[in-house]
């Protein structure tokens, strides 16, 4: 059996590697890389001491450039958005490290997600089902194309084969009408998808300044710390617990007073937030996806001093 030499539209690199793994009858990602290295170097023993990373091999197999693979077939544009906001160079530097290369295969979620209707369509059209990047967007619980609840399975299964082999099922706690119809969740996913697809750079200092100003407008009578706690309280009100637990385990039980990460960020220390957390806090304050994206990505017209 042989594997495809092209990625399918919106197929994540990890899924493509899983496809190769299945067709070569291998056990997992490291065997795929070892096997492809051996194939390329025809027994050169140096290949085992210094194997070429999968992304390089994939670029050679598919004829797609390294950057094209990163931009269209990984979560990197979303995960690295805050780095890109500091400087575009920093993103390149990070990408060249082992850590950066490993990051290209992160699904950014605790489980791997798929749509049963997409699977059926893909089997009919492409002759096989495949994982889609749009389904791995953090917080995504329904198919953007079919509007049905997504199914999920253990994260590792994306590494070993196509989704129709994975026996994914819809998690009950996220498939209720109340959660599937939650407009805050829709808005959050819209923000993340936009950052992913448009590769927006996110500058945390700009974001924080705009967020603090927004909070001041909403709660003028409160102190800065009281505003932070009020924001966290609103966050736990509008985003259901089951969904928050799936997004980020530490967000499951937000103990308002002891939740130090965001508090440090709002106080203006060097604390950094992930793109997803930043999006979550900004959305809670700005209410709509449009307003939040504007606040997160619009460039400064004049330099803003650090607060
Ligand atoms: Zn679908």
In the reported structure, the alpha carbon of residue 50 is separated from the centroid of ligand 1 by a whole-number distance in angstroms of 40
In the reported structure, the alpha carbon of residue 131 is separated from the centroid of ligand 1 by a whole-number distance in angstroms of 11
pLDDT at 83: 78
Structure tokens at 233: 């309280």
Q: Which of 279, 268, 23 is nearest to 130 (CA)?
A: 23
Q: What is the pLDDT of residues 95-125, one digit of tens each?
A: 677 666 676 777 678 899 999 999 999 999 9
- Going from the C-alpha of 148 to that of each of 12, 143, 174, 256, 285, the distances in angstroms are 21, 6, 11, 34, 28
pLDDT at 169: 93
Helix (H, G, I), strand (E, B) or coil at 86: helix
In the reported structure, the alpha carbon of residue 70 is separated from the centroid of ligand 1 by a whole-number distance in angstroms of 23
In the reported structure, the alpha carbon of residue 148 is separated from the centroid of ligand 1 by a whole-number distance in angstroms of 7
pLDDT at 70: 87
Ranges of the chain with pLDDT below 50: 41-43, 46-47, 305-307
Alpha helices in 97-182 (DSSP H): 98-103, 116-125, 177-180
In the reported structure, the alpha carbon of residue 160 is separated from the centroid of ligand 1 by a whole-number distance in angstroms of 21
In the reported structure, the alpha carbon of residue 269 is separated from the centroid of ligand 1 by a whole-number distance in angstroms of 42
> CB of 137 within 8 A of CB of 188?
no
What pTM was computed for the model? Answer: 0.89
What is the domain partition of the chain in residue ranges?
A: 187-297
Count of H-run helices and E-run strands, the chain: 18, 2
């Amino acid at each position: 059996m042989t594997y495809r030499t092209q990625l399918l539209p919106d197929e994540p690199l990890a899924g493509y590697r899983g496809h190769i793994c299945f067709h070569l009858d291998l056990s997992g990602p490291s065997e795929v890389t070892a096997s492809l290295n051996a194939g390329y170097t025809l027994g050169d023993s140096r290949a085992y001491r210094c194997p070429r990373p999968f992304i390089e091999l994939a670029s050679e197999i598919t004829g797609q450039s390294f950057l094209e693979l990163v931009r269209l077939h990984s979560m990197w544009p979303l995960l690295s958005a805050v780095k890109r906001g500091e400087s575009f160079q920093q993103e390149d530097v990070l990408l060249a490290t082992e850590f950066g290369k490993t990051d290209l295969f992160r699904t950014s979620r605790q489980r791997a997600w798929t749509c049963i209707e997409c699977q059926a369509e893909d089997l009919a059209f492409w002759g096989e089902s495949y994982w889609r990047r749009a389904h791995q967007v953090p917080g995504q619980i329904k198919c953007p194309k079919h509007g049905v609840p997504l199914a999920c399975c253990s994260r590792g299964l994306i590494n070993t084969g196509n989704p129709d082999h994975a026996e994914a099922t819809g998690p009950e706690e996220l498939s209720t009408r109340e959660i599937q119809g939650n407009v805050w969740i829709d808005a959050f996913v819209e923000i993340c998808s936009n950052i992913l697809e448009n590769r927006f750079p996110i500058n945390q200092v700009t974001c924080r300044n705009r967020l603090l100003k927004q909070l001041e407008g909403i709660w003028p009578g409160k102190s800065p710390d009281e505003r932070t706690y009020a924001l966290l309280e609103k966050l736990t009100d509008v985003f259901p617990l089951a969904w928050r637990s799936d997004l980020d385990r530490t967000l499951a039980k937000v103990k308002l007073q002891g939740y130090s990460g965001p508090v440090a960020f709002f106080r203006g220390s060097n604390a950094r937030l992930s793109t997803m957390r930043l999006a979550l806090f900004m959305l809670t304050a700005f209410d709509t996806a449009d307003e939040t994206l504007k606040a997160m990505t619009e460039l400064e017209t004049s330099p803003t001093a650090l607060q």
